Amino acid sequence: MKELKSAIKVSPCGYFFKLLISVILRGLLLLIPILLGNLINELSKGNYEAAFRNLIFLAVSAIFYRLSESINNYVYHKVYNKEYQHNFEKYVVMTNNNSIFSLSRFTIGEYSNMVINDVNVVASFYTNLIIRVVQLLEFLFIYSYFLKLNIYLFIVVVVCSILIFLFSLKTTKILQKLNHQTKLNQDDLASSTSEYFWGVKEIKSFNIFDKIFIRLSNKMHNYLEANRKYNNQAAYF
């Protein structure tokens, strides 16, 4: 909770507008199918005047949705950039305050790659948190609608949702494991590449380029293979 408050303080207005526009977007997503259904119903009844009104409302809602989506995209990146800048600067300060011994456990490539990835993950998490909360509220609204409509239909929807959630949870763990392995291989490749560039003079002097090249190639293939497995799984899930 403390971290969340700290994140919101980075861009309170940005988070407010992100929440507002997210609610509008999800509301429009619920409204548009209803308007489309009403349009079809009125057309089937031959009530063309009412159908025309629904068509106008549908067109306005669709235009407003696209406009809101553009605003949402703009606000998202504004908030993300502020979160990224805040966390990046925090990592830089923490690095300066850290001991030489602690820093010596990592190579330059490993540490820089780790910091950049961590900053991106943290910034993305907090920026996307708003839409996750809004989606949760949307689910609660839909569940309450089905509950009022029919108790048995509500039970079916809840059971299906639980099954989908359990399946998603399992696949998410698989993807997290594959993604973790991909990041490790990427860090290893970045570290070895940095070491190569830093020591290229010595490598040329001792004529050991072939050995270094083979090692770099192997690490590159390990990263590419891990990345392939992750993306293949992500495409299916």
Q: Choose among 219, 227, 164: nearest CA to 193.
A: 219
pLDDT given at position 99: 66
Q: How far is CA 183 from CA 26, 117, 142, 217, in A?
A: 33, 9, 38, 17
Q: Which residue type is seen at 138?
A: E
CATH number of 1-149: 1.20.1560.10
Task: Identify the sign of the CA torsion 64, 70, 76, 82.
Answer: negative
pLDDT given at position 131: 84
pLDDT given at position 229: 83
Domain boundaries, the chain: 1-149, 151-237
Helices (H), the chain: 2-10, 12-45, 48-97, 100-103, 108-149, 151-198, 200-206, 209-236
Angle at 176 between CA 175 and CA 180, to 5 degrees: 115
pLDDT given at position 20: 92
Q: Choose among 232, 196, 200, 234: nearest CA to 215.
A: 196
pLDDT given at position 60: 92
Angle at 60 between CA 80 and CA 30, to 5 degrees: 65
**What's the Rg (C-alpha) of the chain?**
26
pLDDT given at position 64: 92
Divide the 237 residues of the chain into consecutive groups of 10 and give the mean pLDDT of each group.
78 90 88 86 86 89 91 90 88 75 64 74 85 84 82 84 80 80 80 78 81 88 86 68
| Residue 98 DSSP class | S
